[in-house]
Amino acid sequence: MSTIFVPKETQPGELRVAATPETVKRLVKEGFAVQVAASAGETASFADRDYEAAGATIAASGAWPAADVVVKVAPPTPEEARALRAESLLVSFLAPHKNLDAVQALAERRVSALAMELVPRITRAQPMDALSSQASIGGYKAVLVAAARLGKYFPLLMTAAGTIRPAKVVIMGAGVAGLQAIATAKRLGAQVEVSDVRAAVKEQVQSLGGKFIELPMQESGEGAGGYAREMGEDFLKKQREIVSRHVAGADVVITTAQVPGKRAPVLLTRAMVEGMRRGAVVVDLAVDSGGNCELSQPDREVNHNGVHVLGFTNLPASMPEDASTLYARNVLALLLSTSKGGAVTLDLADDVVGPTLLTHAGEIRHEPTAALLAAGSAAR
Ligand code: NAD
């Protein structure tokens, strides 16, 4: 029987937890012994007694017990990585390119680290797709944050005091977060216009009631695996010209555009923000990868000529209960697919485990991360 430990998250602002009483109950039923750090679920509204009722034991806060498996949300610090039992299994978001010291520590401890962001987007892995479950929350919350910040209504209102026109929302990037943002803004009654470089999303945008902004695509914006391709500066310049006409009349702009492994494209320049009306709100969800808006700052609000520019690095954590519920189910699905009778067996040839395994048996298996570490040690 393997033991699973659920620590309390330590990264500032991280209110989520990697297992909930629901998933603990299932893990215990499968034959795992589960230990949950005292108050690990508190910020996500899950009490220690609920975990106990689900079959977990509560571990006193402080040093981590030597568990076979640790499940986490935020990437471990290098100290946390070194606290893992040698050759144990870690399941977590790892953001490897930003946490090279922790990755090195994981490899040195010969930890098998399954990185939730590396789960391939294949049909079988959909229940394990934490990028999607969390991005969807980000898109939903971005609209609510914008609506709360805006000094106007979202819906059309006919009142005794006259008519209020509906808010105009422009959404850039119609991936998982963007599509959820469109749906949410439409439910609130806004008019929604959308820009994306993948032609395939046009129909999805329209089916949600959004208006697709046509771009002069000389070549396809589709990259590998359903993601976007990095577009050249000439195209981005043209795109900004077209989009700026829509942005100038917008009350809210929500940006979610990303290209895997690259800096996020700049879609909203300072000049474009200066062309927006006072009181308008920009929410940049790509701020962690460089930002789609030239003026956005991580987890800060910038006021530029009366336009509120908000950059969020971890919006899903602001809705910790459902974010944890979905993330914990993603982790559960991954653990169940790699275990039998409460014991984990990693099949390196498996089409989910193979690409998801960042470190194993002292090796860094993810090539881009290994290359970054090699470049770092060459520079030292
Ligand atoms: P993402 O976070 O990498 O990017 C968000 C969006 O930004 C994408 O729609 C992308 O096309 C867009 N973008 C990039 N450059 C842009 C630009 N210059 N202007 C405007 N938009 C730009 O993407 P994501 O949300 O993680 O997912 C992207 C796609 O992956 C999905 O729409 C879907 O097709 C696919 N996907 C598949 C599965 C699955 O099969 N299991 C699961 C999730 C996502």
pLDDT digits (tens, 9 = 90+) for 222-266: 888 778 889 999 999 999 999 999 999 999 999 999 998 889 999
Token digits of residue 278:
């006072």
Protein residue whose Cα sits closest to atom 3 of ligand 1: 258
Give residue 299 CA to ligand 1 midpoint distance, Å.
Answer: 23
Is the CB of residue 213 less than 8 Å from the CB of residue 206? no
Residue 221 CA: nearest ligand 1 atom is 11
Residue 147 has pLDDT above 80, yes or no: yes
Q: In the chain, pLDDT over 70 holds for what percent of residues?
A: 99
| 352 ligand 1 Cβ < 6 A | no
- Range name among 59-63, 87-91, 96-100, 352-356 with the lowest pLDDT average: 59-63
Mean pLDDT, the chain, whole residue set? 96
Contact between residue 228 and residue 195 where contact means Cβ atoms under 8 Å apart: no
CA-CA distance, 267 to 172, in Å (whole number)?
A: 8
Nearest-angstrom CA–CA distance, 359 and 370: 10
pLDDT of residue 221 exceeding 90, the answer is: no
pTM of the predicted protein model: 0.95
Does the beta carbon of 258 sit less than 6 angstroms from any atom of ligand 1?
Answer: yes
Beta pairing class for 33-37 and 168-172: unpaired
Is 261 or 95 the better-scoring residue by pLDDT?
95
Residue 327: active-site member = no
The CA-atom distances, in angstroms, between 58 and each of 141, 228, 322, 328, 331 are 32, 44, 22, 18, 20
Give tens-digit pLDDT for 291-337.
999 999 999 999 999 999 999 999 999 999 999 999 999 999 999 99
pLDDT of residue 380: 65
* Averaged pLDDT for residues 40-68: 95
Cα torsion 77, 79, 81, 83 to 10°: value is -140
* Listed residue (142, 141, 116) closest to 131, CA to CA: 116
Residue 92 falls in the annotated catalytic set: no
The answer to whether residues 35 and 336 touch, using CB atoms and an 8 Å cutoff, is no
